[in-house]
């Protein structure tokens, strides 16, 4: 896939606010601060298209982007950040659950895990949900630049084993060095059936 155009469409909380287009859609999910918005920026090669922040809890709404007038990327708000207000935390789960269960054009999910953290209940539950619903997904280990190459390999082996997957089924990524970007683009192409373009 060559990214020619990127357009921010809208933010939404509930299904009635989702855009009505039916482009194939890929959603990005993971713990707050894991690097979801940074990954989307790296994929679309726009430094600041999606707002990122060192402070967790930056993305609080469901944000829709259209790529090449043909594909939709969705930046989901992050979970698991204790310091956002109780109201926001209470809204997160229904907001994301509704999205995952109701969005008919959702073709696949990209689940991000910080390479330095072991998968926790939220990640294991998400993987189980994806398996149960037969929704294709990619697992990305973010912030790989924080570790040496040897440590990266060790973490890739350990995290993939904890998720019951092959080592290469989890992709090492860094938004700083762009390590893994091309692999993720290829995997997304495969997921949506565009690998011939």
The residues binding ligand GTP (CB under 6 A) are 30, 32-38, 52-54, 56-59, 77-78, 142-143, 145-146, 174-176
> What is the distance between the alpha carbons of residues 48 and 59, in angstroms, rounded to a whole number?
14
Q: How far apart are CA 42 and CA 48, in angstroms?
A: 10
Tokens read off for 80: 């698991």
Comparing CB distances to ligand GTP, the nearer of 78 and 108 is: 78
Tell me which of Mg ion, ligand GTP, none is bound by residue 165, counting a contact when its beta carbon lies within the kind-specific cut-off of 5 to 8 angstroms. Answer: none
Beta strands in the chain (DSSP E): 6-12, 25-30, 62-67, 71-75, 106-114, 137-142, 170-172
- Give the nearest distance from C-beta 155 to ligand GTP in angstroms: 14
Minimum CB distance to Mg ion smaller for 31 or for 36: 36
Beta strands 25-30 and 71-75, pairing class: parallel
Tell me the CA distances in angstroms from 44 to 10, 14, 181, one per residue in order. Answer: 17, 25, 10
Q: Which does 152 bind (CB under 5 to 8 A by kind): ligand GTP, Mg ion, none?
A: none
- Give min distance, CB of 149 to Mg ion, in A: 27
Residue 180 interacting entry, from Mg ion, ligand GTP, none, C-beta within 5 to 8 Å by type: none
CA atoms of 76 and 92, how far apart (whole Å): 9
Q: State which residue, 105 or 179, has the beta carbon closest to ligand GTP.
A: 179
Nearer to Mg ion, 40 or 106 (CB): 40
Instruction: Choose the one of ligand GTP, Mg ion, none that binds residue 155, judging by a C-beta under 5 to 8 angstroms depending on kind.
Output: none
For binding to Mg ion (CB under 5 A), which residues are involved? 36-37, 58-59
Which lies closer to ligand GTP via its Cβ, residue 52 or residue 69? 52
- Which position has the token pair 């855009």? 19
């Amino acid at each position: 896939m060559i990214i020619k155009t990127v357009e921010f469409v809208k933010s939404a909380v509930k299904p009635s606010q989702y855009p009505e287009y039916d482009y194939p859609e890929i959603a990005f999910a993971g713990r707050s601060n894991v690097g979801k918005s940074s990954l989307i920026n790296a994929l679309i090669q726009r430094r600041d298209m999606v707002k990122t922040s060192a402070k967790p809890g930056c993305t609080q709404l469901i944000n829709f982007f259209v790529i090449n007038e043909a594909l939709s990327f969705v930046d989901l708000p992050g979970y698991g950040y204790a310091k956002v207000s109780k109201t926001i935390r209470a809204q997160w789960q229904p907001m994301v659950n509704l999205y995952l269960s109701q969005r008919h054009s959702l073709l696949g999910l990209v689940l991000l895990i910080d390479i330095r953290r072991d998968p926790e209940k939220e990640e294991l539950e998400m993987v189980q949900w994806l398996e149960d619903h037969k929704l294709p997904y990619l697992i990305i280990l973010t912030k790989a630049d924080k570790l040496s190459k040897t440590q990266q390999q060790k973490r890739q082996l350990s995290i993939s084993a904890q998720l019951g997957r092959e080592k290469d089924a989890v992709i090492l990524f860094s938004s700083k060095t762009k390590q893994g970007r091309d692999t993720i683009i290829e995997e997304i192409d495969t997921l949506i059936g565009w690998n011939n373009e």
